[in-house]
Amino acid sequence: MIARAIDSYGLDSEKLFAESGLEHSRLRDPLARFSSASVAKLWQTARAASEDPCFGLTVASFWHPTTMHALGYSWLASANLEEAFHCAMRYTRIVNTAAQGVIRIDNTEDQYKVIFDARRVKPAPIDAALDAALAVFLIMCRAAYGAEFRLQRVTIKHDTPSCHARFAELFQAPVLYAQDENALSIDPAIVREPLATANPELVRINDRIATDYLAQLDHGDLGMRVRSKLIERLPGGHISESDIASSINISQRSLQRKLKEQGMSFTQLMESTRRELGLQYVRDPQYSFNEVAFLLGFTEPANFSRAFKRWYDKSPSQFRQDSLS
């Protein structure tokens, strides 16, 4: 996206990549990764070369679903925007491994706010990069919901830029500058409205791809590695902590200790994985509830039904009926 934006100004993206210590030719490899420090330098170099205070908006205009690996397609196939936002929160490290926790949700009766809190990202992103993040999320919402998608307001931490008219034209909502946070505010009813592009099977497939990709990308992310193995083995029936530990070549005791260090447990990961997969399967009418119970590793359909009602306060049949209607 940055390379295409640079070229759109008549500048030489290959030259600016080289100045930032990046190999331009690696853009042809869809699985190539660049260091956070080098990309941060590229943002600064490209923003300065463009002389455009709205450079971030230009970058966002080149978004495509494949830009974010499987995350882009999971987003488009989500049941509603709320599910899409939580998908982005779960897999944001596909975009930047340093960005874990950068997206937060503040949900009230009158407002659903998506906050971009980059204080923990090192090196700190420049204003243009955060502008691009806000704009990309807006573009992704419109791609899934439709061109009629509207925001309540946008808040931006930096001062009013000279190109503020472009911000107003893109966001089509009040844009407030010099605020305490970078955030998009949305009507909660819109966030939970079913999407015409929803496809639970595609969500499930792309979630699996995203999970496997992150598990391979960062072996230090033990939780994602365990989740990947759980998704793979749940249909086989009984899964033990010792089996999963063995599959990722560590002892059960080490697995317990390392998960505890990350603030989680094997039981919690099993529960959350089943919960998320269960939602996707129940939304897909091609699966009977007996099949869903098997795919989630439950020995009895009744055990699955009780678990699902505990998770979502509705039986699987009630939830499916509401989703279809």
- DSSP track, 165-180: HHHHHHH-S-EE-S-S
Task: Give the chain's end-to-end CA distance (angstroms, integer).
Answer: 39
Q: Determine the Cα–Cα distance for residues 228 and 215; give it in Å rounded to an integer.
A: 7
The Cα–Cα gap between 221 and 217 comes to 9
Q: Which amino acid is at 164?
A: H
Spatial contact of 81 and 105, defined as CB atoms under 8 Å apart: no
Strand, coil or helix: 26: helix
List the structure tokens of 9.
């100004």
Looking at residue 313, the DSSP 8-state letter turns out to be S
The pLDDT value recorded for residue 268 is: 93
Q: What strand order describes the sheet that includes 182-186?
A: 103-107, 112-116, 182-186, 153-155, 175-176
Q: Which two tokens stand for residue 261?
A: 């260090």
- Give me 310's structure tokens: 């505990």
Structurally, at CATH architecture level, domain 219-324 sits in Orthogonal Bundle (1.10)
What is the model's pTM? 0.79
Contact 2, 50 (CB under 8 A): no
Rg of the chain over CA atoms, in angstroms? 21
Task: Identify the DSSP state of 115.
Answer: E
Query: What sign has the CA pseudo-torsion 21, 23, 26, 28?
Result: positive
For the chain, give every domain's residue range: 2-51, 69-191, 219-324
Position 67 scores a pLDDT of 87
What long-range pairs does 291-294 form, CB within 8 A, spacing at least 24? Answer: 292/316, 294/235
Q: How far apart are CA 103 and CA 22, in angstroms?
A: 27
Taking only the tens of pLDDT, the chain with its 325 residues reads 999 999 999 999 999 999 999 999 999 988 888 998 999 999 999 999 999 999 999 999 999 988 888 889 999 999 999 999 998 988 888 888 777 789 999 999 899 999 999 887 888 899 999 999 999 999 999 999 999 999 999 999 999 999 999 999 999 999 999 999 999 999 999 999 999 989 988 998 888 888 888 877 766 678 888 988 898 888 877 788 999 999 888 999 999 999 998 889 999 999 999 998 998 899 888 899 999 999 999 989 999 999 999 999 999 999 998 887 7
The whole-angstrom separation of Cα 212 and Cα 132 is 27
Calpha distance 7→97 (Å, rounded): 26
Secondary structure element (H or E) that encloses residue 182, with its range: strand 182-186
